[in-house]
Amino acid sequence: MPLPWWTHAVIYQIYPRSFKDGNGDGVGDLRGIIDKLDYIKSLGVDAVWLNPIYHSPGVDGGYDISDYRAIDPLFGTMEDFDEMLQGLHQRGIRLIMDIVVNHTSDQHPWFVESRKSKDNPYRHYYFWRKGRDSGPPNNWLSFFGGSAWQFDPITGEYYLHLFSKEQPDVNWENPAVRNEFKELMIFWLNKGVDGLRLDVITAISKRKDFPDSDTSDFNKTIERYYANGPRLSEFIAELREQVWNKYGCLTVGEGPGITPDNVMEYLQPGRGLDMIFHFGHMFLDQGKAGRFDPVPWTLPEFKRIFLSWDKALVQGWGSIFLGNHDFARMVSRWGNDKTYRTESAKLLLTLLLTLRGTPFIYQGDEIGMTNFILKSINEAVDVESRNAWAQARIDGKNEAVFLKHINYSGRDNARTPVQWDDSDYAGFSSAKPWMPINPNKAYVNIKSEEVNADSILNYFRSLVHLRKTMPVLITGNFELVNVNDYHLFTYYRFTDEQRLFVALNFSEETLPFNLSEGNRLIGNYPLKSDLSMLRPWEAVVIQL
Ligand code: ISL
């Protein structure tokens, strides 16, 4: 049986607010994407994952949806959407829509009704509970800081919101809610979209009695209390049987809280999702208090995460990503965004494109865009950073330290506009953009990358081509070597017919290394005669 299309696909993630502004209002939009369809095609990617573009008050960058069937005017019209979809399809590129299934906006008509009275027909679309001891119903904390419960004076009860208070969690126990989501998925699938990325799907089944959580480690709390609820596999199977199977669409679930031990429960063939995004490496440098509690990470731990997920997914299919709109820029987090920006960006792309699983690349990573550095916490745009700082102030945290943490792991880091050229607004817009442009646009931009044969961009294109022409990169087994080495990430990809070796030097050191065997397929340094070492951040792929 031929492998499904997504197993040999490379997927490009577009955060539309920051991709390209087509109408000159300083915010990226669908016309901007339409303008850049040929660029997307030129990358060699097979599909686009588009972050939410639906009607939304925009409290959480569009992840607070007030109408799932309408395009937010900020992004354009339904005609623009249809034109974009057609333009992608004409170029042989598929489209994956982002569906927020765990919560809606508090402005969504369901919630507007729900909060009106205890006997409103929409009351049980959400989770309403009485308070406990003159406080919230339990001790759950929101991802975005503070209690996960909000008191609503209209009926004197609290509602659950795992994210901001403007994002009430919907109640999947209610069959009417499940039907609403099935219908809205069908609406988009009937329009011809090819896949769905399901936002925080791991949290849609709640524990009935809402037990207090152990709050000592936030990422464990996600795993044990918010995600992996008792009916999660059942809800997924229902969607699979009643909707997804009929369309043959790709489904990729966002999976905070999923572990290598339980992942296959949610990826059962015919009953589950096709893929999930796991957060193993994404939580690696987070301490017990989560995102704004950074801790050092080491390469052996990083490698072990990829190893354990590869093993866990041998019977399923994985996805690989090194950054997205929720995390720091790949090269700033895992590479060296100063002296070795070009080398380390290329090395990370080599990793992304040569592991087993479908690679997802976030816009701007193909040119090595780096974290945007805020000079003051007041410049933070993202609700997560702003709320976290409000809480940190109450807790008496130091401003300079918090700013450092935000600049390391805040979500604003990776949300600045794509740098198309070195002009004032980086070719992103003709007006002042909604977020500042990274000053390094002067030398980090697509225009200059296009004309440089050795650029990160052209290296990325070569890697995509390599992946397309080497089946071993799709189906081959993964075997890690030197697991405990602190500088080297080295592995084989192999089938019965083919064997590749990938060597990645995750350090600023020159390391002795024998590269004399085999045929070098690609590398991020010019070919050299001395095959006895790996230079700083050097990456090579060798056919044995
Ligand atoms: O970043 C995380 C933890 O600090 C992740 O757990 C992330 O918040 C989580 O994966 C959910 O992300 C998704 O849903 C959010 C939205 O803000 C993110 O942009 C989205 O990717 C709520 O809809």
The confidence score (pLDDT) of residue 2 equals 84
Ligand 1 atom 12 nearest Cα: 200
Of 440, 426, 447, 459, the closest CA to residue 18 belongs to 426
Q: How much distance in Å is there from the Cα of 236 to the middle of ligand 1?
A: 19
> Within a 10 A sphere around the Cβ of 245, how many other Cβ atoms?
12
| Cβ of 100 less than 6 Å from ligand 1 | yes
Mutate-to-test residue for ligand 1 from 199, 204, 291, 360, highest number of ligand atoms within 8 A of CB: 199
In angstroms, rounded to a whole number, what is the distance separating the alpha carbons of residues 227 and 224?
Answer: 7
CA torsion 74→436→413→385, rounded to 10°? -70
| Cβ(60)–Cβ(164) below 8 Å | yes
Q: What pLDDT is attached to residue 529?
A: 72
Ligand 1, atom 4: closest residue by C-alpha: 291
DSSP string, 370-407: -PPPPSSGGG---HHHHHHHHHHHHTT--HHHHHHHHH
Q: Is 199 in the pocket of ligand 1 (CB under 6 A)?
A: yes
> With a 6 A CB cut-off, is 98 part of the ligand 1 pocket?
no
Residue nearest to atom 10 of ligand 1 (CA): 256
Task: Identify the residue whose C-alpha is closest to ligand 1 atom 23.
Answer: 63
Tell how far the Cα of 411 is from the centroid of ligand 1, in angstroms.
Answer: 10
Say if CB 367 and CB 419 are below 8 A apart.
Answer: yes
3-class DSSP assignment, residue 354: helix
Ligand 1 neighbour 200 (Cβ under 6 A)? yes
Q: Which residue has the tokens 């939580």?
A: 283
Ligand 1 mean position to 326 CA, how many Å?
Answer: 6
Give pairs for 390-394: CB < 8 Å, separation 24+: 390/145, 391/145, 391/146, 392/292
Give the residue whose CA is nearest to atom 7 of ligand 1.
326
pLDDT in the model for residue 280: 95
- Distance from the alpha carbon of residue 335 to the mean position of ligand 1, in angstroms: 23
Angle between helices 175-190 and 232-239 (to 10 degrees): 40
Mutate to test the pocket of ligand 1, among 15, 54, 63 (most ligand atoms within 8 A of CB): 63
CA of 377 to the centre of ligand 1 (A): 20
Cβ–Cβ under 8 Å, residues 139 and 211: no
Spell out the per-residue pLDDT of the chain, length 544, in tens.
789 999 999 999 999 999 999 999 999 999 999 999 999 999 999 999 999 999 999 999 999 999 999 999 999 999 999 999 999 999 999 999 999 999 999 999 999 999 999 999 999 999 999 999 989 999 999 999 899 999 999 999 999 999 999 999 999 999 999 999 999 999 999 999 999 999 999 999 999 899 999 989 999 999 999 999 999 999 999 999 999 999 999 999 999 999 999 999 999 999 999 999 999 999 999 999 899 999 999 999 999 999 999 999 999 999 999 999 999 999 999 999 999 999 999 999 999 999 999 999 999 999 999 999 999 999 999 999 999 999 999 999 999 999 999 999 999 999 999 999 999 999 999 999 999 999 999 999 999 999 999 999 999 999 999 999 999 999 999 999 999 999 999 999 999 999 999 999 999 999 999 988 999 999 999 987 778 999 999 999 999 9
Q: Which atom of ligand 1 is nearest to the CA of 327?
A: 1
So what's the pLDDT on residue 1?
A: 73
**Ligand 1 contact, 223 CB (< 6 A):** no
CA 279–ligand 1 middle distance (angstroms): 11
Rounded to whole angstroms, what are the CA distances from 345 to 144, 164, 367, 443, 497? Answer: 30, 33, 8, 14, 30
Query: What is the distance in A from the centroid of ligand 1 to the CA of 510?
Result: 38
In whole angstroms, give the CA distance from residue 311 to residue 317.
10
Q: What is the DSSP letter of 9?
A: -
Instruction: List the one residue out of 352, 327, 347 whose CA is nearest residue 336.
Output: 347
Distance of CA 308 to the CA centre of its chain: 20
Catalytic residues: 199, 254
CB distance 63 to ligand 1 below 6 Å: yes
DSSP for 415-476 reads -SPP--SSSTTTTT-SS--SSPPPGGGGTS-HHHHHT-TTSHHHHHHHHHHHHHH-THHHH-
Of all protein residues, the one whose alpha carbon is nearest to atom 16 of ligand 1 is 63
Supply 380's token pair.
């933070």
- Between helices 456-469 and 341-354, what is the axis angle to 10°? 20
- Ligand 1 within 6 A of 351 CB? no
Q: Could you tell me if the CB of 326 is within 6 A of ligand 1?
A: yes
Ligand 1 nearest atom to the CA of residue 324, by list position: 21
The rounded Å distance from CA 412 to ligand 1 centre is 13
Q: Which of 13, 161, 200, 221 to mutate to test the pocket of ligand 1 (most atoms within 8 A of CB)?
A: 200
Q: Read off φ and ψ for residue 477, nearest 5 degrees.
A: -65, 165
203 C-alpha vs ligand 1 centroid, how far in Å? 11
Q: Quick one: 179 exposed, middle or buried, by C-beta within 10 A (0-12, 13-18, 19+)? A: exposed
Helical spans, DSSP H, in 251-329: 263-266, 299-312
Q: For ligand 1, atom 21, name the residue with the nearest CA.
A: 326
